[in-house]
């Protein structure tokens, strides 16, 4: 196989539609081998060009290089070995009443359904989805603040007096450094980010705090702080441009699920389910 041909085959192997077709063919083949009488040569194994391409592509994804001819032959030998054992296992009925095999085949059907490439949603569809699910994309409150940290164990019984003195100095326009900390002195973050860093009590204090004055002490999970809140933006509904990626992801997932549910409903309608009553054990002796 020439280098150009190998490159072309690898490019084809990466196509999602090819993966979809190969999986469908695998499932069709599995069903056929469960019914060997449908084949003229049940003991013949045909290794297609598509299978060779798939083995080549799997090797390259793992090792970041094409396989050598010897390595490709080894992959092929392993594939044939697995195929023989698989077919003989089906003939022996090893797949019957096996919950793992049953579950895996069902999962492959679902995977094939999920592998389809749905049409891109229109802006109107995305906007309708956003309007129908506003709370899922609501923009959190946003805060902009400056904080000065005080370590309680450092100040001990002087903490209250030191806080009062620091606040008085700040009100007079003086600069106060506070205690050493890895916490940021200036914060521009959402409510959840503030909660993650400083804790819920700290974020709750920001909700009604007056703007542009030094306030405190405010407690966090680290100690106490003097805080100047510069800006507070309330929670609001998001625009489509702000959350387009998330809306498109959720809309596509929902549409794929609806398609899978409809496919199952069509299949289910072709089956009649009969549940046998448990055998009557009879009256106790």
| pLDDT tens, residue by residue, 57-88 | 999 999 999 999 999 999 989 989 888 888 88
Of 200-204, 243-247, 255-259, least confident by mean pLDDT is 255-259
pLDDT, residue 196, reads 95
Strand order in the sheet with 186-190: 186-190, 142-150, 224-233, 214-219
- Strand 186-190 to strand 214-219: parallel, antiparallel, or no bridges (unpaired)? unpaired
Encoded tokens for 228: 């100047």
Residue 192: C-alpha distances to residues 82, 136, 142, 231 (Å):
51, 15, 9, 16
Is CATH 3.10.50.40 correct for 140-233?
yes
The pTM of the full predicted model, rounded to 2 decimals, is: 0.54
Mean pLDDT of the chain: 83
The full set of domain ranges for the chain reads 3-117, 140-233
Q: What is the CA angle 11-14-17, rounded to 5?
A: 115
């Amino acid at each position: 196989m020439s280098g150009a041909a190998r490159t072309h085959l690898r490019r084809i192997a990466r196509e999602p539609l090819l993966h979809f077709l190969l999986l469908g063919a695998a499932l069709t083949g599995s069903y056929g081998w469960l019914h060997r009488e449908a084949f003229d040569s049940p003991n013949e194994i045909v290794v297609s060009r598509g299978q060779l391409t798939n083995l080549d592509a799997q090797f390259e994804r793992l090792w970041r290089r094409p396989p050598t001819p010897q390595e490709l032959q080894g992959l092929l030998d392993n594939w044939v070995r697995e195929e023989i054992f698989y077919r003989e296992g089906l003939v022996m009925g090893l797949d019957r009443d096996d919950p793992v095999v049953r579950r895996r085949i069902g999962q492959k059907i679902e995977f094939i359904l999920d592998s389809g490439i749905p049409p891109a949603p229109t802006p109107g569809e995305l906007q309708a989805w956003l309007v129908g699910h506003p709370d899922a994309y609501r923009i959190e409150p946003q805060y902009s603040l400056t904080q000065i940290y005080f370590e309680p164990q450092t100040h001990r019984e002087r903490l209250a007096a030191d806080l009062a003195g620091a606040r008085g100095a700040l009100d007079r326009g003086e600069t106060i450094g506070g205690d050493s900390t890895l916490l940021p002195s200036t914060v521009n973050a959402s409510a959840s980010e503030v909660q993650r860093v400083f804790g819920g009590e700290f974020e709750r204090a920001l909700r009604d705090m007056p703007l542009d004055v030094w306030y405190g002490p405010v407690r966090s999970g680290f100690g106490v702080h003097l805080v100047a809140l510069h800006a507070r933006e309330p929670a609001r509904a998001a625009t489509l441009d702000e959350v387009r990626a998330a809306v498109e992801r959720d809309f596509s997932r929902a549409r794929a699920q609806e398609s899978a549910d409809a496919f199952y409903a069509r299949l289910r309608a072709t089956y009649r389910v009969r549940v046998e009553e448990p055998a009557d054990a009879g009256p106790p002796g």
